[in-house]
Amino acid sequence: MGAAVSTTATENDEVPTFSLSSPQTTTLDDVPENCISSLMMSFHPQEICTLARVNKAFHRASSADFVWESKLPSNYKFLLNKLLPQHNNLSSMSKKEIYAKLCTPNFFDHGTKEIWLDRSSAQVCLFISSKAFKITGIDDRRYWNYVPTEESRFKSVAYLQQMWWVEVIGELEFEFPKGNYSVFFKLQLGKPTKRLGRRVCYLDQVHGWDIKPARFQLSTSDGQSSVSQCYLRGPGEWAHYHVGDFAVEKPNGPTNIKFSLAQIDCTHTKGGLCIDGVVICPKEFSERLKQF
């Protein structure tokens, strides 16, 4: 007694059917270029150049202006005006071309200063020649001479033969991106030259630097300052002497920097000193100074 429940499908029941077909093959060439470009913004410049070799789509995407503008320092327009004031085709240059231009050594101020971007981080580095400094007695060849040498970026260094009062002062007004920077004098005790194709450094005039330390000073227009002292040592080898550090909190505004080296104790003479110039670089580059 009672109703029977059947679980068997009737002949009229319709069973849905599915048509299975082979999926369409998708390759990297099918990814939209603007998507690739957007992804590339998160990579370092050298990685972008590597990805550009993947295929034509990646190569085109890697050249997008917004990709390279994101890698340029915030003060890049100031740098271009400083380095290429007479260049009429800046508007026609792509951001990739501008980046490549700024990563090469660029001289300005009559060849007395050099600027370049670190290729991997796009951070600004500067080198200032000794010819841009105010050096006491520099016009008197009894005391100072400019010595030609391939060891300098500027092909010459200021060389002190002998003097009682040594004072070297430099000044720079520049627009830096936000960050922390260090200042170093690049110095050597001894006169560099070549003999029979080999490097030679004459030390016969080196004296007086072990009696009293040299004094280094740094000041900026926004009130930062530092003072340090150290003996000049290691004759025959270039060395970087730390002058001080400064911070840029407000990017792209002019910062005036003054720095100096002095040994003005007139109880003894000093001599045999070479001054190549001053390096200004991001603080974290201090371990890479041999590049400068």
User: Percentage of residues in the chain with pLDDT exceeding 90?
Assistant: 63
Q: How confident is the model at residue 29 (pLDDT cuts 50, 70, 90)?
A: low
The answer to which of 2-11, 19-28, 116-125 has the lowest mean pLDDT is 2-11
| pLDDT given at position 283 | 94
Q: How confident is the model at residue 7 (pLDDT cuts 50, 70, 90)?
A: very low
With a cut of 80, say whether residue 23 has pLDDT above it.
Answer: no
Give pLDDT tens digits for 237-282.
999 999 999 999 987 789 999 999 999 999 999 999 999 999 999 9
Give pLDDT tens digits for 54-74.
888 888 888 888 889 999 999
The closest of 286, 103, 272 to 188, measured between CA atoms, is 272
Beta strands in the chain (DSSP E): 106-108, 113-117, 124-129, 134-135, 144-148, 156-160, 166-175, 179-189, 191-195, 198-202, 214-220, 225-230, 239-248, 254-263, 273-282
In degrees rounded to 5, what are phi and psi of residue 247? -115, 145
The closest of 189, 135, 130, 172 to 155, measured between CA atoms, is 130
Burial of residue 9, with CB atoms counted within 10 A of its CB: 0-12 exposed, 13-18 middle, 19 or more buried: exposed
With a cut of 90, say whether residue 292 has pLDDT above it.
Answer: no
| pLDDT given at position 24 | 63
* C-alpha to C-alpha distance for 39 and 229, rounded to whole angstroms: 49
Say if residues 85 and 109 touch (Cβ distance below 8 Å): no
Please tell me the pTM assigned to this model. 0.84
Partners of 158 in beta bridges: 146, 275
